[in-house]
């Protein structure tokens, strides 16, 4: 079982051992980087198919079914189409910013994968400040969006990039703070340590994932919402808003630069899903002790595919938010809730020493009650003093 679990690690070691000694360190880096880029770009191709098929199923359509069996070769056809399309730069555009923008939008996202442990011993670099590294690179994405929106010299592009940046900086705060609970509980910023902290099993059966604690569950939900907004996915896809501003900052792009933006967006989605898996869902660990024989990388990518399916489902289900609802939600609900969650995790950590009968249940009730009570209060607060009663819907008559 360990042979299968460590197959990729051993393969890399075998390849590195073939190189001359002076080339081993750079060779090892290149192999790790190539594996990351290849795997996740391949996953991007697969996801375009999954998403189109999934959305089609939700909308009672067939989806792509012309190219290959079940339309499986559609991503290849799409890629070829994108590559052969004419690359247009508007005459009025700022050529430098317009050309650099897709690169700036994609490169940091790919670099962020370096700290993500995708399996046992499978992490490119184990940085001591891995989580900060991840968010630092996530923050660079906004510069790319801005360069695209401003450099295109198109009012829709500019509006789209303004929406995108406003949304990203608003949701970046809850996103970062929602992960702080894990930092507080684990006492480290390294993503490898965070997975290590979740190994082991409750009662020899259920994994010790953070999501099985009150702060972990609450933090995971908040993280999921903020991550959806941060990666501009529906229902937070205002920056693209096809019916309002066409495609936002991507409007003036064609051919492969347009594809690069999509690559960056999906790679960002995988990266942030992978971070959620690492922080709250045990990374590459198995949910039950009797499933521990399944290779660790299979668990990570299995969970990642579940995330992708969830995001497709969400996109097919939810309508788009209004800009004021979006901002109000970030500042009036998400931000206070992530701060409350910090108190919950502090409570959880301080009551670790409780030994009396039923202590675990009490910790759960009190911690979960704090979180749920705050959520209920914050949800009710804007409605205080407003008339309650059945909501009246008026349709066009």
- State in angstroms the smallest separation of the CB of 313 from other proteins: 30
Residue whose token pair is 């999906």:
266
Gyration radius of the chain over CA positions: 23
Question: What span, in angstroms and rounded, lies between the C-alpha atoms of 386 and 388?
Answer: 6
Check residue 97 for interaction with other proteins (CB under 8 A): yes
Q: Which stretch binds other proteins (CB under 8 A): 159-167, 271-279, 314-322, 385-393?
A: 159-167
Question: What span, in angstroms and rounded, lies between the C-alpha atoms of 244 and 155?
Answer: 12
Residues β-bridged to residue 43: none
Quick one: 80 or 129, whose CB is closer to other proteins? 129
Neighbour tally for 25: CB within 10 Å: 11
- The token pair at 323 is 């800009």
- State in angstroms the smallest separation of the CB of 226 from other proteins: 15
Question: What span, in angstroms and rounded, lies between the C-alpha atoms of 378 and 384?
Answer: 10
Quick one: 189 or 312, whose CB is closer to other proteins? 189
Nearest Cα residue to 312 out of 77, 48, 39: 48
Quick one: 54 or 130, whose CB is closer to other proteins? 130
Q: Which of 124, 147, 194, 217 binds other proteins (CB under 8 A)?
A: 147
- State in angstroms the smallest separation of the CB of 212 from other proteins: 26
Question: What span, in angstroms and rounded, lies between the C-alpha atoms of 225 and 236?
Answer: 9
- State in angstroms the smallest separation of the CB of 80 from other proteins: 33
Quick one: 88 or 143, whose CB is closer to other proteins? 143
Q: Which of 44, 150, 171, 280 binds other proteins (CB under 8 A)?
A: 150
Query: Per-residue contact track with other proteins, 171 to 190, x per CB under 8 A?
Result: -x---------------xx-
How many residues sit in the footprint of other proteins (CB under 8 A)?
28
Do 215 and 368 touch, CB atoms closer than 8 A?
no
Residues 124-143 that bind other proteins (CB under 8 A): 127-129, 132-133, 135-140, 142-143
Query: Per-residue contact track with other proteins, 233 to 272, x per CB under 8 A?
Result: ----------------------------------------
- State in angstroms the smallest separation of the CB of 171 from other proteins: 13
- State in angstroms the smallest separation of the CB of 257 from other proteins: 18
Helix, strand, or coil here: 319? Answer: coil
Query: Helix 214-230 and helix 255-280: axis angle, to 10°?
Result: 170
- State in angstroms the smallest separation of the CB of 141 from other proteins: 9
Residues β-bridged to residue 2: none
Q: Which of 49, 146, 270, 301 binds other proteins (CB under 8 A)?
A: 146
Helix, strand, or coil here: 201? Answer: strand
Please enumerate in sequence order all residues whose Cβ is within 8 A of that of 60, keeping only pairs 6 or more positions apart, or say none.
none
DSSP 132-145: HHHHHHHHHHHHHH
The reply to whether omega before 235 is within 30° of 0 (cis) is: yes
Q: Which stretch binds other proteins (CB under 8 A): 166-174, 233-241, 264-272, 349-357?
A: 166-174
Quick one: 162 or 211, whose CB is closer to other proteins? 162
Quick one: 6 or 161, whose CB is closer to other proteins? 161
What are the helix (H) ranges across 282-386?
Answer: 296-317, 323-328, 335-350, 359-380
Q: Which of 161, 167, 170, 179 binds other proteins (CB under 8 A)?
A: 161
Q: Which of 64, 149, 248, 282 binds other proteins (CB under 8 A)?
A: 149
Query: Measured in whole angstroms, how far is the alpha carbon of residue 378 from the centre of its chain?
Result: 25
DSSP 182-222: HHHHH----HHHHHHTT-SEETTTEE--GGGSHHHHHHHHH
Q: Give CA angle at 320 (317, 324), nearest 5°.
A: 145
Helix, strand, or coil here: 288? Answer: strand
- State in angstroms the smallest separation of the CB of 232 from other proteins: 15
Q: Which of 7, 34, 76, 169 binds other proteins (CB under 8 A)?
A: 169
Quick one: 8 or 134, whose CB is closer to other proteins? 134
Contacts to other proteins by CB under 8 A? 94, 97, 127-129, 132-133, 135-140, 142-143, 146-147, 149-150, 158, 161-162, 165-166, 169, 172, 188-189
């Amino acid at each position: 079982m360990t042979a299968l679990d460590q197959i990729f690690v051993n393969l890399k070691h075998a390849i590195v051992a073939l190189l001359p000694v002076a080339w081993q360190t750079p060779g090892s880096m290149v192999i790790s980087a190539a594996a990351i880029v290849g795997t996740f770009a391949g996953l991007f191709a697969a996801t375009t198919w999954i998403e189109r098929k999934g959305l089609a199923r939700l909308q009672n359509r067939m989806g792509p079914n012309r190219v290959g069996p079940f339309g499986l070769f559609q991503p290849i056809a799409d890629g070829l189409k994108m590559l052969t399309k004419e690359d247009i730069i508007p005459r009025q555009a700022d050529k430098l910013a317009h050309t650099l923008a897709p690169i700036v939008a994609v490169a940091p996202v790919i670099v962020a994968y370096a700290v993500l442990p995708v399996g046992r011993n499978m992490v490119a670099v184990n940085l001591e400040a891995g989580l900060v590294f991840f968010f630092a690179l996530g923050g660079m994405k906004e510069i790319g969006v801005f360069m695209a929106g401003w450099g295109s010299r198109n009012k829709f592009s500019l509006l789209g990039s303004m929406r995108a940046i406003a949304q990203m900086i608003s949701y970046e705060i809850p996103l970062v703070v929602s992960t702080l609970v894990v930092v507080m509980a684990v006492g480290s910023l390294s993503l490898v340590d965070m997975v290590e902290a979740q190994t082991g099993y409750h009662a020899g059966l259920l994994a010790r994932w953070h999501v099985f604690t009150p702060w972990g569950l609450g933090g995971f939900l908040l993280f999921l919402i903020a991550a959806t907004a941060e990666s501009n996915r529906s229902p937070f896809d205002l920056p693209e808003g096809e019916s309002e501003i066409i495609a936002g900052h991507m409007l003036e792009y064609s051919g492969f630069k347009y594809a690069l933006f999509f690559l960056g967006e999906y790679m960002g989605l995988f990266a942030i899903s992978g971070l959620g898996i690492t922080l709250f869902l045990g990374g590459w660990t198995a949910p039950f002790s009797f499933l521990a024989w399944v290779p660790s990388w299979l668990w990570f990518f299995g969970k990642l595919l579940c995330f992708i399916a969830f995001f497709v489902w969400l996109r097919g289900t939810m309508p788009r938010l209004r800009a004021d609802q979006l901002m109000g939600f970030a500042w009036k609900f998400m931000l206070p809730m992530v701060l409350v969650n910090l108190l919950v995790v502090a409570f959880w950590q301080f009551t670790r020493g409780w030994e009396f009968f039923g202590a675990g249940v009490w910790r759960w009730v009190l911690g979960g009650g704090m979180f749920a009570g705050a959520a209920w209060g914050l949800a009710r607060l804007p409605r205080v003093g407003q008339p309650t009663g059945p909501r009246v819907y008026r349709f066009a008559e």
